[in-house]
Chain A
Amino acid sequence: MARFIVRRVIAAVPVLLGLSVLLFIFVRLLPGGPASAILGQHATPQRIADVNEALGLTRPLYVQYFEYIGRLLHGDFGSSYVDGTKVVDVFLLRFPSTIELTMGALFFAIGLGIPLGRIAARHSNGLIDGIVTVISLFGISIPVFVLGYTLAFFFGVQLHWLPTFGLADPTLGVPAVTNFPIIDGALASLQGGTTAPFVDAIAHVILPSIALGSIPLAVVTRITRAAVIEVSNEDYVRTARAKGLTEKRVDNRHIMRNAWLPVTTVIGLEAGALLAGAVLTETVFNINGVGSWVVDSIRNHDYVVVQSLVLIFAVIFMVVNLIVDIGYAFLNPRIRYS
């Protein structure tokens, strides 16, 4: 297993290098530049040239690229052209919110999708199966922002059940320790002896998680249903029954362990898509995450920030996929040694 991980990490290096080159070129192909974003639309050509000179953007591209890579290798992700903040600082501040939102959505999608898929498979082609199919079709076809605003309207504005703004109530004055609202809330609850901050953080993540998790929920449900039906018809399931095992054990052990394989693969793919989908959800629910930051940086032609953020996203995506592959290898002995 260690060799497998090392090999995967080594294989990631050329991918990241190639991606860094492409990113470097793509962000510079965008019309306009950081100078006009900083100076506004009435800037004179002379001022723009001065700013470009000051930012070092007039030097040859390859010099800029190697300088950027050189700094990256020293752990320096650079600073924003626009407001001078360090990418690392802003990242550490905003990224935990995005992670929390993404995890919440995954938790919702897996926690609900797998039972739903199993129920649908058990009653395949019956009424319950039909209802589950309709639910998952809704999940896939409703855009995240429509679902987000609808949820916010009903459960926040109309019913006042759940908060719809941010991931924590700032008036509670929870100290930022990890920047993960739920963890910070839990710490504050432990210290203050009141559950309020923790409950508040949980309540805040519910609606955004549902909005963001609706598409993966639908996908996980469909895949689980298909996998369970397919595995149920395998010869080895009949063998398990022939041994006299209880239906419950046949289901939970012999069917599910095999059905998990395709489900795991899909969860890995969806986890990557969730990071992208987080942008919209963060906007709808006013969450200070990475997603909105990426959008702003692209709009400002903030080259360094975009490059670094997308690279970090790529690394995260690779790590998620590596974790999924390790999980897959753990579940499937047939690929363990290959």
Chain B
Amino acid sequence: MKQKADLAVYQEETPRVGPPTDPDVLLDVRNLQTHFHVMDGTVKAVDGVDFSLKRGETLGIVGESGCGKSVTALTIMQLLDMPPGEIVGGEIWFEGRDLLTLAPEQIRKIRGADMAMIFQEPMTSLNPVFTIGDQISEAIILHQHVGKKEAMTRAIASLRAVGINAPERRVKQYPHEMSGGIRQRVMIAMALSCNPQLIIADEPTTALDVTIQAQILELIKKIQADSGAALLLITHDLAVVAETVQNVAVMYAGRVVEAGPVEDVLLRPQHPYTLGLLNSIPALHKRGRKLDVIKGVVPNPFRMPPGCKFEPRCPYAWEVCRRSEPDMMDTPGRKSRSRCFLHAAEGAARRYEFEKAAVATVTAGLPEAQA
């Protein structure tokens, strides 16, 4: 009863538009807001995030530490600690249902079965006291309603699918008997084991050796292509995004500031923040020069700037940016959208300077230019 009452209030505040009309859309996140209530006040970690993901599609979310990308992922999986976390508003449509209106028991049945998650820390994400066979088959028994033996057979099969040698032997081993790379493969096998529609990978390669990173990325790409699952890849690494996904959303201070096909966003950036990220990638042609960094720091979550959240650090900001916050805007002739006044009517005069800098950065960074 209580939940129903809550829902009514909720509906008054934000009119719901119902499930996405396009049946191909698997995940549709609308105006998602996740806040953390801490001692010093409320941190709006995710503050109105929108994006959608079609079946079999891949989407990357990039941004600095603290921009809310991991919280977005955990909110979708409903794995946040509440309190201190609270999902304040928004909708998460997944396979025609709004996850935020479902009972915990219904979410639990979706979690691990229809959507699965790969975490950042393979060293600590597996339970040290159970064999990995136990840990993989546990989810299979739960969601696919098979016996222990059949589940173990499937666990072995999924270990084989992620390229682990002698999986029959590996299932009997404990996590401490494996390297970080193998453990991340195990995590991927676990995520795959119930054939999910959506795989969320939260910084899956960050904790790994550079040599292993490439292998794991290749593996994620391969299993995504083989299984046909949609992939939501969360990373701070633009190179990973460039190699792995079709679409990308750049997040800053709890919001998406630029989104679109990966080649548009990375080669024709429209938001000064995206350009700043591209500039700060170390590259061969910049050898010997000081690394370009985005000036300043991420704003204090308790004292967000009143206008555009990036304005204090933005070299192109002017008066209007301090006053109000831009919406996501289209740019003529581009598929990507961005949250910047440069692309509004009042920014037209300043746009040229930005475009010039963007072209300079991108052409200098192209492989041909580096060679």
Contacts and interface: CB of A to CB of B under 8 A. Distances in A.
A241 interface: yes
Interface in B177-197: 187, 190
Chain A interface size, under 10 / 10 to 19 / 20 to 34 / 35 or more: 10 to 19
Contact of B142 (A244, A257, A333, A334): A244
A333 B172 CA distance: 11
Nearest to A233: B81
A277 B71 CA distance: 52
Contacts of B117: 242
B77 interface: yes
B53 interface: no
A243 B79 contact: no
A52 interface: no
B128 interface: yes
A236 B111 CA distance: 15
Interface stretch (B36-44, B119-127, B145-153, B278-286): B119-127
Interface string A236-271: 101111111110000000100110000000000000
Nearest to A238: B79
A242 B111 contact: yes
A239 B108 contact: no
A310 to B, nearest CB: 37
Given A235-B121, A238-B119, A334-B176, A244 B129 contact: no
Contacts of B112: 242-245
A245 B128 contact: no
B113 interface: yes
Nearest to B176: A334
B71 to A, nearest CB: 13
Contacts of B130: 257
A83 interface: no
Contacts of A240: 127
Given A238-B79, A238-B119, A243 B129 contact: no
Interface string B239-261: 00000000000000000000000
Contact of A244 (B110, B127, B128): B110
B116 A258 contact: no
B139 interface: yes
B129 A333 contact: yes
B350 interface: no
A246 B108 contact: yes
Q: Which of A238, A241, A243, A246 has the most CB of B within 10 A?
A: A243
Contacts of B64: none
B138 A243 contact: yes
B138 A238 contact: no
B126 to A, nearest CB: 6
A178 interface: no
B221 interface: no
A245 B187 CA distance: 16
Nearest to A258: B129
Contacts, number: 69
A245 B138 contact: yes
Nearest to B110: A244
A117 to B, nearest CB: 19
B170 interface: no
A234 interface: yes
B111 A257 contact: no
A314 B138 CA distance: 44
A244 B139 contact: yes
B109 interface: yes
Nearest to B190: A243
A333 B174 contact: yes
Nearest to B120: A235
Contact of A241 (B79, B126, B143, B190): B79
Contacts of B190: 239, 243
Contacts of A333: 128-129, 131, 174, 176
Contacts of A183: none
A236 B125 contact: yes
B124 A244 contact: no
Contact of B113 (A238, A244, A257, A258): A244
B129 A242 contact: no
A238 B187 CA distance: 13
A332 interface: yes
Contacts of B124: 234-236
A298 to B, nearest CB: 44
A331 interface: yes
Contacts of B116: 242-243
A11 to B, nearest CB: 25
Contacts of B187: 239
Contacts of B131: 333
B111 A241 contact: yes
A254 B127 contact: yes
A235 B125 contact: yes
Contacts of A257: 127, 129-130
Interface in A52-81: none
A142 B110 CA distance: 51
Contact of A236 (B108, B110, B128): B128
A257 B128 CA distance: 10
A331 B190 CA distance: 23
A242 B143 contact: no
Nearest to B77: A242
What 4 A-B pairs are tightest by C-beta distance, nearest first? A244-B112, A243-B112, A244-B111, A243-B139
Given A239-B125, A243-B116, 8 more contacts: A235-B121, A239-B126, A239-B190, A242-B77, A242-B79, A242-B116, A254-B127, A334-B128
17 contacts: A235-B121, A238-B119, A239-B119, A239-B190, A240-B127, A242-B79, A242-B117, A243-B116, A243-B138, A243-B142, A245-B112, A245-B138, A254-B127, A258-B128, A332-B128, A332-B129, A333-B131
